[in-house]
Every structure is written in C-alpha cells, then in structure tokens.
C-alpha cells in the first residue's frame, strides 16, 4: 500500500486503552486536528501577508493522520474537529473523511466536525455530509464584501455565502464564528446575530488571541466580549444556557430571536477549568494547551514502528503533563512587550 493511501480495513484494537485523564482529573475526549498549515486567506489577526508555510514533506500523510486519529479514538476520544489553516485546501482531504467514517459507523467516534473559512465548501458540503459530518463551523467576521476582502486580504465573501447555502442544502448544521475586532466589526454584531438566527444558525463571538507574529498590534484589535455582552443587553434579553458543544464557548439564548449566541473569552474569562481537548498539528506535534508551548512529538514513534503501542504510550505521557490552563494576556503589549505574541506559533499551525 502506498504511503498516501488510507487503510480502510484498519480497525481499533479490541483492547483499546484506558481513557485519557490529565493531572487535574479532566477526561480528554476531544481532539482538534490541523491537516494543513496552508490557507487561501490571510486574515490580518491570524497571519502575516507574506507567510512561509511548512514544506509539504514535513506534513503527515493522510494515512498517517488517519492512523494517529484512530489511536486517539481507541483511547477514548469521542469528537474529532478537522481544522487548518483551511482544511479543505488539502489535496485529497476527502479521503481522510471517508476513512474516519468507519469509526462513526462502529460507534467508537461520536462526532466528526470541521472548521472552515467556507471558500471550498460549495464543492465539498455534500461529500462531508455523506461521510457522516453533521455540523460545521464557518469562520466569517463581516457581512460586508469590501471589509471581508480587507480582513482576509483576498477572500471572496460571495464564495463563502455559496458555501453556507450548499452546507445547509446538504443538511449540515452551520455555526458562524466571528472574531470580535475593535473598530472593525463592532457595529456588525447585531446584524450578524439577526442574519445568522434568521437562517437557523448559531453565532459565536471570539476574542482575538495572541498567537503568532502578524503585521499589526493585537492590543489595537482587542475587543472585550464582556463589553459586547453588556451592550447587547440594551437591545436583547440574554438567557444563560448550560449547553456545551465540547469547546470553550459559553452560550446564551437571545429571547427576541430564539437563537443561540456563544462567547469564547480566553482573555476576559479563562475557560480552562473544563478543558477536555488537545490539538494535533499537521506535522504530528501534540499540543496539550493552545496557550502553552509544551508539546509532544508523535510523528517519530508513529514512523518508528508499525505497532500503535509506542504512539499510544507517547499520547498517554503527553496527557500526563497537560497544564491546568493558559496565560493569555493581551495587556502585555501595553507594558513594554508591544507586538510580541503570548505564543510564537501561528493559529494555522496549531489548528483552530
């Protein structure tokens, strides 16, 4: 079998390992997987315009990604979120989704989801649904075509809208993710709520995160969602919800629209106490925390043996040192550390 092919007959071992539990008693059941660091956008808060991407030879093959994810599923991971970069620009990526279908069908994997910028969604939405994907997140920070092109540097809002149409037509549940940016989309939050809820979509607002060197100063971009929520109370009735989707969002129902609004607040409210997730990069590096640099190399044990046991052991050792939480501080830029991110790697490397 060629290294680029996926072994659809490879199943989980009958004696799959014990659940992954970190030092703080949290069961790790959620894996976010970046299948590529490449993206067809250059969002100003995420990347520099002149990005240098990883050599393709450094990336895990689709077969290796399948094998690693399967080991995680065998150790109790129930949810996989496929991210990037932009995951749908990876060549032949649908072969990977086809491979993961076997774990959904067996019941070992409960959910397979995707975070995408929507640019490639129109041509892949039905295939994703056929592979067992039930819901997706689409990253979209503005509904203004000119502002969209500015924030993404060369994205086409029309293609994203076509992708959302195709996703809903395929029966996928769509959630919109929007990064809240000071002096950019503050005035669009209410219109985006009305638009998303009018189409039966949740909307989640996200505070800008200090990851990776970019061309701008994030302290100028930062908009506190505590402030946003307070302003929304002048217009809406917000009811706190206990809903959790496995991620860091805290949800409210807007009584006037009947829809859900999520807040992801890594800077104004640390959400680490219930963290049940880890992140795998496209090179096989496992990050136990988005906001910490400690990581484990899974590529070496993966390639060193045809047995999955060394990989499983490396995963267990990594989870045993998962930290309690991150230490993102946007204010550091205002105290003599201007322009330096809390974490040097870009979000596209770690996975959204």
In sequence order, what are the beta bridge partners of 113?
81
Q: Is position 149 within any domain?
A: yes
Percent of the chain having pLDDT more than 90?
Answer: 67
- Is the pLDDT at 343 greater than 60? The verdict is no
Q: Is 131 annotated as a binding residue?
A: no
**Window from 29-38, 39-48, 102-111, 241-250 with minimum mean pLDDT:** 241-250
Q: In the chain, how many domains are there? A: 1
Q: According to the model, what pLDDT value does residue 206 have?
A: 94
**What does R_g of the chain's alpha carbons equal in angstroms?**
20
Cα–Cα distance measured from residue 320 to residue 205, given in angstroms and rounded to the nearest whole number = 32
Q: Is 289 annotated as a binding residue?
A: yes
More confident residue, 67 or 347: 67
- Is the pLDDT at 269 greater than 60? The verdict is no
Q: pTM to 2 decimals?
A: 0.87
Q: Is position 258 within any domain?
A: no
Q: Any idea what the CATH number is for the domain that residue 133 is in?
A: 3.20.20.70
Q: Is position 316 within any domain?
A: yes
Residue-wise pLDDT tens digits, 130-141:
999 999 999 999
Q: According to the model, what pLDDT value does residue 294 have?
A: 87
- Is the pLDDT at 9 greater than 90? The verdict is no
Q: Is 278 annotated as a binding residue?
A: yes
Peptide bond just before 85 cis, omega within 30 deg = yes
Residue-wise pLDDT tens digits, 298-337:
999 999 999 999 999 999 999 999 988 755 454 444 444 4
Q: According to the model, what pLDDT value does residue 114 have?
A: 98
Residue-wise pLDDT tens digits, 158-181:
999 999 999 999 999 999 999 999
Backbone CA torsion sign across 136, 224, 33, 18: negative
With beta carbons less than 8 A apart as the criterion, state whether 88 and 116 touch.
yes
3-state SS assignment for residue 138: strand
Cα–Cα distance measured from residue 250 to residue 265, given in angstroms and rounded to the nearest whole number = 9
245 — pLDDT class (breaks 50, 70, 90): low
More confident residue, 267 or 183: 183
28 — pLDDT class (breaks 50, 70, 90): very high
- Is the pLDDT at 342 greater than 50? The verdict is no
In sequence order, what are the beta bridge partners of 83?
34
Burial annotation 124-151 (CB, 10 A radius, 16+ → b, else e): bbeebbebbbebbbbbbbbbeeeebeeb
Q: Is 81 annotated as a binding residue?
A: yes
Q: Is 275 annotated as a binding residue?
A: yes
Nearest to 311 by CA among 303, 320, 319, 322: 303
Average pLDDT, stretch 37-42? 90
Q: Is position 315 within any domain?
A: yes
Q: Is 175 annotated as a binding residue?
A: yes
Helix or strand holding residue 207 (H, E): strand 202-207
Q: According to the model, what pLDDT value does residue 302 have?
A: 97
With beta carbons less than 8 A apart as the criterion, state whether 22 and 5 touch.
no
Measured CA distances, 213 to 67, 69, 96, 136 (Å):
32, 29, 31, 28
Q: Is position 229 within any domain?
A: no
User: Domain span at residue 52?
Assistant: 30-175+273-350
Q: Is position 164 within any domain?
A: yes
Q: Is 47 annotated as a binding residue?
A: no
Q: According to the model, what pLDDT value does residue 270 have?
A: 55
Beta strand extents in the chain (DSSP E only): 30-34, 79-83, 111-116, 135-139, 173-180, 202-207, 238-240, 250-254, 260-264, 277-280, 285-287, 295-297
Q: Is position 192 within any domain?
A: no
Average pLDDT, stretch 236-258? 89
- Is the pLDDT at 226 greater than 60? The verdict is yes
Q: Is position 264 within any domain?
A: no
Q: Is 69 annotated as a binding residue?
A: no
Q: According to the model, what pLDDT value does residue 52 have?
A: 80
Mean pLDDT across the chain: 87
Q: How many other CB atoms sit within 10 Å of the CB of residue 295? A: 17
Average pLDDT, stretch 259-271? 77
């Amino acid at each position: 079998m060629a290294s680029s092919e996926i072994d659809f007959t490879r199943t989980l071992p009958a004696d799959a390992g014990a659940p992954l539990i970190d030092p703080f008693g949290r069961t790790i059941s959620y894996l976010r997987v970046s299948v590529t660091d490449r993206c067809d956008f250059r969002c100003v808060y995420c990347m520099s315009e002149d990005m240098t991407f990883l050599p393709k030879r450094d990336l895990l093959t689709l077969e290796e990604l399948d094998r690693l994810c399967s080991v995680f599923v065998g150790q109790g991971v129930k949810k996989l979120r496929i991210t990037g970069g932009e995951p749908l620009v990876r060549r032949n990526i649908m072969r990977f989704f086809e491979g993961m279908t076997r774990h959904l069908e067996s019941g070992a994997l409960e959910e397979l989801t995707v975070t995408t910028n929507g640019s490639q969604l129109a041509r892949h939405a039905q295939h994703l649904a056929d592979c067992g994907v039930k819901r997706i997140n689409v990253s979209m920070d503005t509904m203004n075509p000119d502002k969209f092109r500015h924030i993404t540097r060369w994205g086409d809002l029309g293609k994203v809208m076509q992708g959302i149409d195709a996703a809903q037509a395929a029966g996928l549940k769509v959630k919109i993710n929007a990064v809240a940016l000071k002096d950019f989309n503050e005035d669009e939050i209410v219109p985006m709520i009305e638009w998303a809820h009018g189409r039966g979509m949740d909307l989640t607002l996200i505070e800008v995160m200090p990851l990776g060197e970019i061309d701008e100063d994030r302290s100028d971009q930062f908009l506190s969602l505590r402030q946003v929520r307070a302003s929304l109370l002048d217009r809406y009735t917000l009811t706190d919800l206990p809903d959790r989707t496995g991620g860091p969002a805290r949800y409210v129902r807007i009584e006037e629209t009947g829809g859900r609004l999520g807040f992801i607040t890594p800077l104004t409210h640390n959400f680490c106490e219930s963290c049940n997730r880890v992140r795998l990069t496209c090179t096989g590096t496992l990050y136990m925390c988005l906001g910490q640099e400690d990581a484990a190399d899974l590529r070496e044990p993966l390639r060193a043996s045809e047995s999955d046991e060394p990989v499983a052991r490396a995963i267990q050792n990594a989870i045993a040192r998962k930290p309690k939480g991150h230490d993102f501080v946007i204010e550091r830029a205002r105290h003599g550390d201007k322009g330096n991110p809390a974490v040097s790697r870009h979000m596209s490397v770690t996975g959204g």
